[in-house]
Structure 1
C-alpha cells in the first residue's frame, strides 16, 4: 500500500514541480540581475553610466545587422537572436515581463514539462526576433522578453483551442482572448507613441501557437 494519500503528490511529482519552479526562478533571476545591474549603473552606484548603452550595442537586436551593418563581433548577427530577450528597457519593463513569465510559464510547464517549455520559449524568442528583423523599419535596437512571452500566450491559447474543439465546446473564449491581445497591443503602441515592438509580439505569438501544436497536438481528453 502506498504511503501517500490521494491528495498528497508523489515524490516524482514534487521533484518535477521543484525543477519547473527552479527553471522559472532561474530565468527571472538572470533577467532581474541584468536589469538591476544596469539600473544601478545608470544611477552611478556601480560601474559606468555607459553600461546600458554597451549592453544594447552588443546584446540588443539590431535589424541592420541582418543587412549591411558591420557587427561589433563576428557572432553578433546570430547571438542577438537570443541575447535581446535577457535585456530590458528599464526596471518596470523587466518587472512586468517577469510577472507575466511566472504566470504563463507555470501553465506551459504543467502542460508539456521542462523540455516542451524550453522548445516553446526558444522558438518564440527566435520567431519574435525574426519578425522584427523582417518588418521593423528602425535604427533602434529591440530588447525584452515579450517575444517569448507572447509565444507562451500563443501556446496556451492554441492548446485551449484544441481542448475546446476536442470537447466540442465553444471557441469564442479563445477568439476573445486573441482579440484582447490585439487590442492591448494597439493601446500600448499608441500610449508609447509607437515605441513598441509589435512585430516581435506578432512573431512570438505565431511561433508559440505553431510550436505548441507540434509539441502537444492532442486535446485534453485524447488517449
Structure 2
C-alpha cells in the first residue's frame, strides 16, 4: 500500500543507515560543547570563547543588512552553522533527546535520503523564518528549526495516513486532523516563550515547521 508522501521503511540496511545518521547528527551537536569543555580544562575563558562561537557561527539577522561579517561567506554559512551551536548543555541535551525521538519516528516511514532532505529544509527554513520575522538584534542558535521540521513532517504523514484510509477525504478532513497537533505546538511555544522571558526563537520554529511539512508534502510517494 502506498501512502501520500511516504511509506514504512523496514529495510534493515536503511534502518542501520538511519540510526547512524542520527548518531552522526548528535555528534555534530555535541562537538562545539566538547571543544569548549576541553578548552576550559586548558584554562580558556569559557564566556569569551562561547561569545566568539556565537559571533562566528550563530545566525545574525543584522548580517543581512549593513553589518560586516567576520569572514568571507559568513552571511551564507550562518544559514546552516547556527543549527549546530547551542547555549549550553541543557539546551543541547533537550535538542538531542528531541532529535532521537522524532528522528526515529520519522525514519520508520521515510528513507535516510528523504530524512536528510527534510532536515536540511528545516535548518534553512528556520533561518529564513527568523530572518523574515525577527525584530531583535540578538543571535539565534540551536537545532530547533530542523527539529520542528521533523515534527511538521511527522504530523503531515500521520494526517495523510489517517485521511487516506477514509473514503473520499476532503480538505476539511485534513484541516480537522491538523488542528490538534498545531494547537499543541502553538501552546508549547507560548509557554516556552514566557518561561524564557522572550528568549525563544519562535520565528525559527515556525519557519522550520512550515519547511518540514511542505517538503514532506512535496516529496513523491514512497511505496511500502
Q: CA deviation at 1:40?
A: 5.2
Per the normalisation by structure 2, the TM-score is 0.86
Does residue 45 of structure 1 match 2:27?
Answer: no
Question: Which of residues 156, 169, 173 in structure 1 aligns to 2:154?
Answer: 156
* Whole-Å separation in 2 of the counterparts to 1:22 and 1:212: 22
> Equivalent residue for 1:190?
194
* Whole-Å separation in 1 of the counterparts to 2:49 and 2:179: 43
> Equivalent residue for 2:76?
78
> Equivalent residue for 1:212?
216
Ranges in structure 2 where 5+ consecutive residues have no aligned partner: 1-9
* Whole-Å separation in 2 of the counterparts to 1:113 and 1:197: 29
151-160 or 29-38: bigger deviation? 29-38
Which of the pair has the greater relative contact order for Cα pairs under 8 Å at 6+ separation?
A: 2
Pairwise CA RMSD:
2.0
> Equivalent residue for 2:112?
114
SS of the aligned residue for 2:121 comes to helix
Q: CA deviation at 1:32?
A: 1.2
User: Do the aligned partners of 1:35 and 1:91 also contact (CA within 8 Å) in 2?
Assistant: yes
Q: CA deviation at 1:16?
A: 1.9
Q: CA deviation at 1:208?
A: 0.5
Q: CA deviation at 1:120?
A: 0.3
SS of the aligned residue for 1:69 comes to coil
What per-residue deviation string (whole Å, max 9, x for no partner) do you get for residues 154-190 of structure 1?
0000111111111128765542121111000000001
> Equivalent residue for 1:100?
98
* Whole-Å separation in 1 of the counterparts to 2:97 and 2:157: 21
Aligned length: 207
Q: CA deviation at 1:209?
A: 0.5
SS of the aligned residue for 2:109 comes to helix
* Whole-Å separation in 2 of the counterparts to 1:13 and 1:163: 20
* Whole-Å separation in 1 of the counterparts to 2:33 and 2:163: 41
What per-residue deviation string (whole Å, max 9, x for no partner) do you get for residues 75-128 of structure 1?
001000000000001100110001000111112222121110010000011011
Ranges in structure 1 where 5+ consecutive residues have no aligned partner: 1-11
> Equivalent residue for 2:140?
142
